[in-house]
Chain A
C-alpha cells in the first residue's frame, strides 16, 4: 500500500519530469524523428535563408535533390521537376547581365500538364552585386506589391521559408492589371555564408492562379520536388564538429 509520502515523492518526480520535458523539448524533437538528421558531409546540404545580407530566424539547413552552388553548373538542375517540364530561356536583356554581373544566370520556363507556367530564375554570384531583392526591382518598375513569407514543408521533414511578393501593374495596352506572384530564397554552400563561397538566389515567378494562397501552394509543390528535408543549421554545425 502506498503511503502519503510515497505519493508526494511520486508527484514531485512527475513534476520534475514534466519540467525537464518542457525545457528540453526542442532538443528532443530531432531524436524523435520530427526533424531529419542533417550532415554537412552531404554535398547536397545547403543553408537557406530569406536574406543573404543578415541571418534571419528563418535560416535553415536543407538537403536538395540537385546541386545549387557555384562549384556546379546550375544548368544541371533538372528540366523535369515533378509534373513540370522546363525549357531554358536565356536572358536577352544585356543590361540585366551588365548590371548584375552574375557568375551564373539561369532562366527557365516550366509548364505543367494543366498548362500553368512557372519561371525559375537562379542567379549565382560571389558578391552582393547580383542580388537585388525582387521587391526593390518591382518597386522601381512601378509595380504595386504586397510582401510576406511562406513555409514550404518538405517531404522528408522540416520546412524552408521563402518571401513571397504579389505584384500588380496596369499596362496601358491591357484591359486588366498584370499580376505576378514571386517566391524566393537564398542558398549558401555552408553555414559560414561567406559571399566569396558563392550565393544562389532561387526565385519562382508566375501569374496568379486562383487565390494568392493557391498560387503559393503551386510554388511550394515545385520547391518540394527539388528539396527533400530541412532542419536547424546549428544541428548541421554540431554534426560537422564545428
Chain B
C-alpha cells in the first residue's frame, strides 16, 4: 500500500518535473532562430534570411524584432567612405547604442523598401563575412555594407555591420 502510493506520487512528480523543465528549455528566438525558416535550411540560407529580415524590419520599423537579430556584443560602424582609413570610423557599440541608432537616426528617414541586397557570403565555421550591394531605386551602394554574423546556440546572429565602405571617387 505504502509502496504503491509512493510509486504513484513519484510518477506524478516526475511528469511535473519533465513538463516544468521542458518549459524552461524553450527554443531560442535569437537571430535566425526567430525567423520562420524551412526545415533543413542551410547555413547560407539562414545568413541570407537574417540580412533580408533586417532590411524588411527597418522598413516596417519593428524595433524589438530587429534587435533580436543582433548579438549582445554587436556593433555598427560607419566607414565614412574611407574604407582604407579606420581612424575616422564612427561606432555604435552594444545593443543599446544600435537600438538608439535605429530609432533616432534610421527610422526618422522613413526608409523605403529596397530590393533584396546582392550578397557575397564568405563563411568559416561559425563566422561569416557578408558583403552586400544594395540598390534603392537608382541609388546603388556597390559592396557598401559588410556584415559579420556568428553562429551561437545554432542561431546565426549579427555581430557587426560596417557601412559606407564604398570609396568616394576623387
Q: Which residues of A contact B (CB under 8 A)?
A: 5-6, 8-9, 12-13, 15-16, 19-20, 22-23, 50-51, 53-54, 56, 58, 133, 135-136, 144-149, 161, 163
Judge whether A23 and B20 touch: CB under 8 Å: yes
Judge whether A147 and B97 touch: CB under 8 Å: yes
Q: Of the candidates A8, A50, A54, A149, which one forms a contact with B63 in the assembled complex, judged by CB atoms under 8 Å apart?
A: A54
Judge whether A149 and B96 touch: CB under 8 Å: yes
In angstroms, Cα B104 to Cα A30, docked, is 33
23 contacts between A and B (CB under 8 A): A5-B6, A5-B7, A9-B10, A12-B10, A12-B14, A15-B21, A16-B17, A16-B20, A23-B24, A51-B100, A51-B103, A58-B96, A133-B100, A133-B104, A135-B100, A144-B88, A146-B91, A146-B92, A147-B93, A148-B92, A148-B94, A148-B97, A163-B100
Judge whether B24 and A53 touch: CB under 8 Å: no
In angstroms, Cα B7 to Cα A6, docked, is 9
Judge whether B103 and A148 touch: CB under 8 Å: no
B23 to chain A, nearest CB (A): 7
Residues on the A chain within 8 Å of B138, using CB: none
Residues on the B chain within 8 Å of A8, using CB: 10
Q: Which residues of B contact A (CB under 8 A)?
A: 3, 6-7, 9-10, 13-14, 16-17, 20-21, 23-24, 63, 88, 90-94, 96-97, 99-101, 103-105
Judge whether B10 and A149 touch: CB under 8 Å: no
In angstroms, Cα B20 to Cα A16, docked, is 8
B74 to chain A, nearest CB (A): 11
Q: Of the candidates B21, B91, B96, which one forms a contact with A50 in the assembled complex, judged by CB atoms under 8 Å apart?
A: B96
Residues on the A chain within 8 Å of B91, using CB: 146-148
Judge whether B9 and A53 touch: CB under 8 Å: no
Most buried by A among B17, B23, B91: B17
